[in-house]
Structure 1
Amino acid sequence: MSFHITYHADAKGEMNIIVVDWSGGAFDPYDQAVANTRVVGAVIAELVKVLHNLTNTEYSNIYLVGHSLGAHICGYAGERLPGLGRITGLDPAGPFFQYVDSAVRIDSTDADFVDIIHTDGSRYGISEAVGDVDFYPNGGVHQPACLSDHLDPSIACSHVRAIYYFIESINPSCHYKSFPCKTKDDFVSDKCNACGSGCQEMGYKAHRNTSGTFYLKTRWHYPYCSKNV
């Protein structure tokens, strides 16, 4: 496993970004890749501890983002780091992780703030709410223009879409306004179009002020976010 460190600055300040390449273990047979996630999470936690000890970086300033199995890796790292600031799980993997004990998967206790984007709840992603805030764009089961997901199991269009939603959400002009909603059926019935106890913003701009499950619609094609959504 290798670490790639880059420097980035945006409107929110200067940041150091570390990209973890665990491809050597991610493409093993799936059950072995699942087992490898715990090792990768432990190594990431040790790296963060080194940064904390050498540079006085506060755990509260650390933000982990992971997709699929990588989301659970972030959870395993977070459970080893007291007071970790935030984790964003991008469509956490479902097989072997759906409806299991919270110690086995990413959950809301792994950081001070855990937000989840669900995009493929019927195949590759987890569907249950596991974070402080859980977002279900377009219902969280299948994403627009990803009909091929149902026809060709080698295609993970909906599963990967969470990554694109998150990347786009970093743009200051993108606001994925999300409405509190209890179920997908309520969302489909158009019962979730008011802020009620408070709305949220899916992605990078998600905040700690309001917790629960949130639903929203996106555009069918890139850009998925628009001022009219």
Structure 2
Amino acid sequence: MSQIWVLGAVFCLFGVAYADEVCYNDLGCFSDLPPWGGTKERPIARLPWLPDMIGTRFLLFTQKNKYYQEITADANIMKVTNYNKLRATRFIIPGYLEKKDEDWAQDMCRDMLKWESVNCIAMEWKAGVKAPYAQAANNARVVAAQVAHMIHFFMVNYMQTADKFHIIGHSLGAHAAGEVGTLVPKLGRITGLDPVEPYFQGANRAVRLDASDAAFVDVIHTDALPFTKNQLGLGMSEMIGHIDFYPNGGELMPGCTKNNGSPSDLDSIWEGKVKFDGCNHARAYQYYSESTVKAQGFVAYPCPDKDSFAAGMCFPCAEPSCPLMGQSAIKFNMTSVPAGTKFFLTTGKNKPFGRFSYRAKVLLAGSIWPNPGIMYVALKGDREQTESFQLHRGMLSPGYTYELLINTDKDVGEIKEMTFQWNNHIFNPFKPKYSASRIELVRGKDKKIYNFCGVDKVGEKVLQSVPPCQA
């Protein structure tokens, strides 16, 4: 009898397990029946681990504490923290973890707090996420329940409302955020950072992030190639939010490469047992983190598809139809565009990733005969100036207008001047001279037009200053 009593006490303390369901105190019950397992999208059924095995931690960052404070849903513990009930609260839930960047959620909290006073809670569940993939996907459900339990604790003890909470989830963490929204009705916002594809794309809405999970759901897609051999796009491609962003087309990010391997390698990839470049997948949280300090570098353009965007067909922005991807996305008025609109933008291959976009049309004047050469233009603003951008390489034909889409990492402010330069690697004894006689510059974010007029023609490698046209 004593052994039976002990066994019963263990089940009461840690949960009661059946063939298809497990229950944990304060967190509810979890089934491995459809739609959670045994479906086309989720063929392997798994029950989530015990919370202690998952090892979830809540790390609180505020502007008042230099280091994080580990918190739990305990009134006595919370009394000695810097949690402020008058501030908005953000939870950051990581998913796929690269060894070099396992603590990125903590870094994101630190970036946020440079610019605003919030309660930022970085989640940690490294043991639970570094499991075989099907297991990790189900462990995320317990993490979601733990976050929901913490939110309910705040709502009861601090009289906060659900709309004051924002959940930011990456990869598996994005779908955990969706489950939080199911457990906490009227949640304010969920941000999905490249929600992971395997076991979720095409699956029942109950198991994945969906626009119904919060009042505002924004999603950034960065690794949306199909999850097939030698592509292995970990991220979803389908639209699942109120607003979905596809930087660089959403499939292959500048500075990253395609993922090699086979779908059968998923467990080894996920647990870090084989070499895998998670660069594309990680870009989503890198972009978002930068957006907290450099929002204007992430202007996104409504466009029907990535090819139309790449061809410049959706430039410039017709105000107010262009949102800012990342932290400031919630400021966008969704009624300004049709439902189901996709948003595209360009980023750089290295930090800073944000870009400021312009289109330049340059009317060339100069020697009567065409000559081979290379032309460059640069922008000078009231804040700083850009590097030179190659306008054209080939024959330089006076009277012809050359066009260039410029993406720069410099926030130059108001454009005060442009510069023009040309050179040639072939000696020309006639020493021709050229001029940017007129430049029309259109700013992408708001369609503002600048006009510049050049007078003096310049020789090879001589910089021409092109000031604003005089009325």
Say whether the fold is shared (TM-score over 0.5). Answer: yes
Which residue number corresponds to residue 180 of structure 1?
Answer: 302
Which residue number corresponds to residue 354 of structure 2?
Answer: 225
Shift, 1:104, TM fit: 1.6
My pick for the range that moved more, 196-205 or 49-58, is 196-205
Contact 1:62 1:85 (C-alpha < 8 Å) held by counterparts? yes
Match of 1:19 among 106, 122, 135: 122
Shift, 1:43, TM fit: 1.2
Change over 3 Å in CA distance of 1:173–1:213 after alignment to 2: closer
**CA distance in 2: counterparts of 1:50 and 1:73, whole angstroms:** 18
Amino acid at match of 1:158: N
Which residue number corresponds to residue 202 of structure 1?
Answer: 325
**CA distance in 2: counterparts of 1:96 and 1:187, whole angstroms:** 30
Match of 1:154 among 276, 281, 299: 276
Match of 2:188 among 56, 74, 85: 85
Which residue number corresponds to residue 171 of structure 1?
Answer: 293
**CA distance in 1: counterparts of 2:198 and 2:303, whole angstroms:** 25
Change over 3 Å in CA distance of 1:31–1:159 after alignment to 2: same
**CA distance in 2: counterparts of 1:63 and 1:77, whole angstroms:** 10
Which residue number corresponds to residue 134 of structure 2?
Answer: 31
Q: Alignment RMSD, CA only?
A: 1.9
Which residue number corresponds to residue 252 of structure 2?
Answer: 142
SS of residue matched to 2:120? strand
Q: Which has the larger radius of gyration?
A: 2
Change over 3 Å in CA distance of 1:188–1:99 after alignment to 2: farther
**CA distance in 2: counterparts of 1:96 and 1:226, whole angstroms:** 34
Instruction: Give the TM-score taking structure 1 as reference length.
Output: 0.92
Higher relative contact order (CA 8 A, sep 6+): 1
**CA distance in 1: counterparts of 2:249 and 2:275, whole angstroms:** 20
Amino acid at match of 1:222: K
Contact 1:40 1:73 (C-alpha < 8 Å) held by counterparts? yes
SS of residue matched to 2:145? helix
Give 1 or 2: higher helix fraction.
1
Q: Deviations over 1:188-214 (max 9, x none)?
A: 333222434711110001024126320
- Pair 1:127 & 2:237 matched: yes
Number of equivalences: 228
Contact 1:192 1:215 (C-alpha < 8 Å) held by counterparts? no
Instruction: Give the TM-score taking structure 2 as reference length.
Output: 0.46
Runs of 4+ in 1 over 6 A off after TM superposition: none
Which 5+ residue runs of structure 1 have no aligned equivalent? none
Give 1 or 2: higher strand fraction.
2
Q: Deviations over 1:2-39 (max 9, x none)?
A: 11111134544x21111111112100000100111111
Which residue number corresponds to residue 220 of structure 2?
Answer: 117
Q: Percent identity?
A: 38
**CA distance in 1: counterparts of 2:215 and 2:310, whole angstroms:** 31
**CA distance in 2: counterparts of 1:146 and 1:213, whole angstroms:** 23
Which residue number corresponds to residue 165 of structure 2?
Answer: 62
